[in-house]
Structure 1
Amino acid sequence: MPHLDPARLRLPGGPRADLALAGVVLVLVGIAEGQRLGPDWQATPSTTLSWILAVAVCAALPMRRRHPLATGWATTIGTGAYYLLSTVDGPLVVIPIAALYTLAAQGRIQAAVAMAAVMIIGVGAGALAGTGDVSGTAVFMLTGWLAAVVALGAMRHGRVAYAEEEARLRATQERLRIARELHDVIGHNLSMINVQASAALHRLAKDPGQAQEALTAIKQGSKEGLQELRATLRVLRQADEQAPTAPAPGLSRLDDLVSSAARAGLDVRVEHSGADRALPAAVDLAAYRIVQESLTNAVKHSKAHLVVVRIHHTDRDLKLTIEDDGQGAVPGHAVGSGIAGMTERARALGGTLDAGPGATSGFAVRARLPLPNPPADHHEPIGGAVDDQDPAG
């Protein structure tokens, strides 16, 4: 016995739905028009013309999505002519109502209102002339139906426009996130490589031993950069690919940044304060990237020799301060995308970031990243609190 899958039982959509609706309406019109035929089933000229109009109106419905305006007016005029010839109140009015909804759903509200007004005026004139079954009650009911159809179509158009705008916004945010990640990953390592390459060229003739050390640092830095780039690109994998096995960067890998900066001739000191606690993945990644970008800027722009990284933990937030002893901000120098990216990271988490001249000299970056509320039971193991976090951030 064949198995029936309810999930495959779907109503037709698109042109198939239009053909189905037109077919049902045409059958109902045929049943209604059959009442006009005499005992010998002989059709009068008006009956024949009514049939032709009904077929033409129903045949025009499948074109409402490609040519909504032309289909709307054609079905409206054809239906009006049909009711002038026919003495029965058939269901053909469903066709122009469907075309009216399409106009409103596509945002052509003025054309939809104009078409609805023509339909109401035409039916109202028929009621005043005492044509057939048309009455004042029918005009009132038709007005309500047409107003509801236009409102539903306009609502549909608004929902579709909102969904499209939201999709565009999500795509823009995703592009910015990807650009920020690639900038942080590639920019840091390439800056270190650039510094070491300059040092190697400068020392090659005078001190080949130091040049070899610089080239070794370039090799290590390029290797680390390639690994991070591959890890970042794996995040952009297709949906059916396996998830990356390497954990996202965090403050636990701060020693790697310190070592990389040291190879570029930068002395980095890290100071921790406050009660250390497990950080959410998003906060941990943002803190790592902020420190990474700050060290990159110190190597590229500040000409600094010493950088102090202060990390302060509280129950409510994580505070970062990265200060160097370099030349500070260069007057008239445009702020690069690195500081903008750090600011966006902090704001995305509800935090703040300030970058500018240091207290005494050099350049300083100060960030505050809020943390979720601490668990009510402080005796709960830290590992249990981490398990509740979304690893994807």
Structure 2
Amino acid sequence: MVKSFADQAALALEIAEHRRDAEQLALLGDRDRIARDLHDLVIQRLFADALTLQSVLSRVSGRPEATERLQRVVDDLDDTIKVIRSTIFGLQHRDRPSRRTGLRSRLAALADEATTTLGFPPALRMTGLIDTDVPARHADHLLAVLREALSNAARHAHATAVEVTVAAGEGTLRLTVADNGRGIDPRTTRSSGLTNMRTRAEELNGNLDITPGNPSGTHLDWTAPLPRGTGPAPGGHA
């Protein structure tokens, strides 16, 4: 009876595991479909609208106010396309089984984790050859700083929107985190979190600047020079 029960329990566990695998494959299939639709339908339409507005700009060159408003819309469309592209990357590369994880995916996963504590998903934009030009040591510092910045936004800033930008190019790795919260209390004279972020920048010969946002909130700018001739971080892909 014991052997029979053990066999039945093993069979039940195996069935449950196969069911989880099937659900995971179905989820990944849905994400791939959504990513394709975003790219083929949404991004292409936004790009076409931006081009149309660009052609209109030359016709209203004599009206500065209209030109400025149109250019602002074009810039907003460009930013929206970048956000959607980052979202597509996250959909296509998140939770992939048996896959070595690159820095882009780790950043997307970290932003996804922060959704729970923030109460909303932070906007994430990534530009440059992040997976190939950022060494492992820089990647580890970058992720730690981003985690601390998102934690601060959730615990202290009471923000309702957070924008994260990661860029690798021209020999520099840059992380900016901007929120619309209440900003840093001027009475605060000591913060271990800010000290750690500054130390991580200094260890890479970089810099940390924290300034008030406009019109509210906090703007964090963390930079570190990239060494020449560096290869990809472990698990990175171009």
The CA deviation string for residues 175-195 of structure 1, in whole angstroms up to 9 with x for no partner, is: xxxxxxxxxxxxxxxxxxxxx
User: Is 1:312 the counterpart of 2:167 in the alignment?
Assistant: yes
In the other structure, the counterpart of 1:273 is 127
- Structure 1 runs not aligned, ≥5 long: 1-246, 376-384
Aligned length: 133
**Mapping of residues 25-40 of structure 1, within 5 Å:** none
In the other structure, the counterpart of 1:257 is 110
CA distance in 2, matches of 1:372, 1:281: 12
Structure 1 position 251, deviation (Å): 4.8
Structure 1 position 295, deviation (Å): 0.1
**SS of 2:177's equivalent?**
strand
The CA deviation string for residues 130-178 of structure 1, in whole angstroms up to 9 with x for no partner, is: xxxxxxxxxxxxxxxxxxxxxxxxxxxxxxxxxxxxxxxxxxxxxxxxx
| Aligned amino acid, residue 127 of structure 2 | S
Q: TM-score, normalised by structure 1?
A: 0.31
- Alpha carbons of structure 1 residues 340 and 248: separation in structure 2 relative to 1, 3 Å: farther
The CA deviation string for residues 350-370 of structure 1, in whole angstroms up to 9 with x for no partner, is: 111112312432011101111
In the other structure, the counterpart of 2:204 is 349
Mark the structure with the bigger radius of gyration.
1
Asked if the contact 1:254/1:288 (under 8 Å) is kept, the reply is yes
CA distance in 1, matches of 2:126, 2:104: 11
In the other structure, the counterpart of 1:323 is 178
- Alpha carbons of structure 1 residues 332 and 361: separation in structure 2 relative to 1, 3 Å: same
Q: After the TM superposition, which segments of 4 or more aligned residues of structure 1 sit over 4 Å from their partners?
A: 247-251
- Residue number among 133, 145, 170 corresponding to 1:290 in the alignment: 145
**SS of 1:311's equivalent?**
strand
**Mapping of residues 44-193 of structure 1, within 5 Å:** none
| Aligned amino acid, residue 144 of structure 2 | R
CA distance in 2, matches of 1:274, 1:254: 14
Asked if the contact 2:171/2:225 (under 8 Å) is kept, the reply is yes
**SS of 1:331's equivalent?**
coil
| Aligned amino acid, residue 312 of structure 1 | A
The CA deviation string for residues 20-75 of structure 1, in whole angstroms up to 9 with x for no partner, is: xxxxxxxxxxxxxxxxxxxxxxxxxxxxxxxxxxxxxxxxxxxxxxxxxxxxxxxx
Asked if the contact 1:251/1:285 (under 8 Å) is kept, the reply is no
Structure 1 position 306, deviation (Å): 1.0
- Alpha carbons of structure 1 residues 251 and 287: separation in structure 2 relative to 1, 3 Å: farther
CA distance in 2, matches of 1:251, 1:319: 14
CA distance in 2, matches of 1:359, 1:373: 35
**SS of 1:270's equivalent?**
strand
Q: What is the Cα-based RMSD across aligned positions, in Å?
A: 2.4
Asked if the contact 2:184/2:218 (under 8 Å) is kept, the reply is yes
**SS of 2:199's equivalent?**
helix
- Alpha carbons of structure 1 residues 364 and 335: separation in structure 2 relative to 1, 3 Å: farther
- Residue number among 360, 364, 367 corresponding to 2:215 in the alignment: 360
Structure 1 position 250, deviation (Å): 4.8
| Aligned amino acid, residue 124 of structure 2 | V
Asked if the contact 1:251/1:288 (under 8 Å) is kept, the reply is no
CA distance in 2, matches of 1:263, 1:278: 30
CA distance in 1, matches of 2:196, 2:102: 17
Select the structure that is richer in strand. Answer: 2
Structure 1 position 312, deviation (Å): 1.5
Asked if the contact 1:266/1:304 (under 8 Å) is kept, the reply is no
Asked if the contact 1:329/1:356 (under 8 Å) is kept, the reply is no
Structure 1 position 249, deviation (Å): 9.4
CA distance in 1, matches of 2:109, 2:203: 25
CA distance in 2, matches of 1:285, 1:341: 13
Asked if the contact 1:249/1:285 (under 8 Å) is kept, the reply is no
Higher relative contact order, structure no. (Cα contacts within 8 Å, ≥ 6 residues apart): 2
